[in-house]
Amino acid sequence: MGRTLLYEGKAKQIFETDEAGVLLHRYKDEATAFNARKRGSWAGKGRANAAISAAIFAYLERRGIPTHFIEQVDEVTLKTRRLQMLPVEVVVRNVAAGSLSRLLGYEEGRPLRAPIVELCYKNDALGDPMLNWYHFRELGLTDEELGFCEGLGLRVNAALRPFFGERGLELVDFKIEVGRDAEGRMMLADEISPDTCRLWDKKTGERLDKDRFRRDLGGVEEAYEEVLRRVTGGEDS
Ligand code: C5P
């Protein structure tokens, strides 16, 4: 299959294929944090994230949530539907951590009364700021798109919190992205992996996600492998 590099991101390359409307997402071993001010890489990261994302997208599809995922084609590559991406990062939180702890002055680990959804403007130059609906309307987004983003975030959370819970992991928070296919259907896109989720071991509280890299906690490779083992090794719910 012919491949033309369409886009190279921090942790992924995206290729066009001969097949119309189909892309290949190749997960890299590189990691960046703090708007690419911190960089690193480790062997097996791309393989772990590709397999974790594939398993989660397949699970969400079985739960009736539309995603861009078609199939995994090799260890580090997923075949996806080509989408027009909305410039939005949807963050959903169950437990205070990271920027929410700074925003509200909450200690990390404080449970939230109810899930919190945040919409952020996907714009590296501006540092992906959290905006409200008025700002997004100014940027040209419609209420239908904003409502879909919030609703999708909550549906994904409602599906994934028990999915991870059964695997001994607390889904503290996560980020998703949304795009439209050629027919205008909106769906879940990008990836769901320890790069984009905070996952804490329910028994020990150990962080099994990218915070190990961001905060130099060590054991980052082992943490991703542990999430991979729990996500792909468990029963198929
Ligand atoms: O940094 P913050 O606390 O806002 O991150 C919330 C969640 O969104 C975390 O799980 C983080 O990994 C994810 N995130 C992301 N990409 C970003 C910003 C946040 O995957 N650009």
The model's pLDDT over 95-149, given as tens digits with 9 standing for 90+, comes to 999 999 999 999 999 999 999 999 999 999 999 999 999 999 999 999 999 999 9
Report the amino acid identity of residue 200.
W
Strand partners, 23: 16, 80
Radius of gyration of the chain measured on its C-alpha atoms: 17
Mean pLDDT of 70-91: 98
Q: Are residues 46 and 139 in the same domain?
A: no
Band (pLDDT 50/70/90 cuts) for residue 3 is: confident
51/202 Cα distance (integer angstroms): 22
Average pLDDT over residues 72-96: 98
pLDDT of residue 236: 52
| Domain residue limits at 140 | 84-218
148 and 214 part of one domain:
yes
- The answer, as to whether pTM is greater than 0.95, is yes
**Closest ligand 1 atom to Cα of 175:** 8
Q: How many helices (H) and strands (E) does the chain have?
A: 6, 13
Domain end position, chosen among 53, 81, 109: 81
**Euclidean distance between CA atoms 101 and 104, whole angstroms:** 6
Alpha-carbon span 66 to 64, nearest angstrom: 6
Nearest to 79 by CA among 68, 71, 87: 71
Give the CATH number for residue 38: 3.30.200.20
**Are residue 71 and residue 100 in the same domain, yes or no?**
no
Is the domain of 137 the same as that of 213?
Answer: yes
- Given a contact cutoff of 8 angstroms between Cβ atoms, the answer to whether 172 and 200 are in contact is yes
Nearest 5°: the CA angle 230, 227, 103 is 130
188-214 mean pLDDT: 98
Contact (Cβ atoms closer than 8 angstroms) between residue 209 and residue 222: no
How many CA atoms lie less than 13 Å away from 175 in the CB half-sphere? 16
pLDDT at 234: 57
Q: Could you tell me the two tokens for 218?
A: 């060590």
Tell me, yes or no, whether 93 lies in a domain.
yes
Residues 149, 203, single domain; the answer is yes
What is the position in ligand 1's atom list of the atom closest to the CA of 118? 4
d(CA 201, CA 171): 9
Which residues have CB under 6 Å of ligand 1? 89, 91, 97-100, 128, 173-175, 196-198, 210
Ligand 1 pocket test target in 94, 108, 173, 191 with most atoms within 8 Å of CB: 173
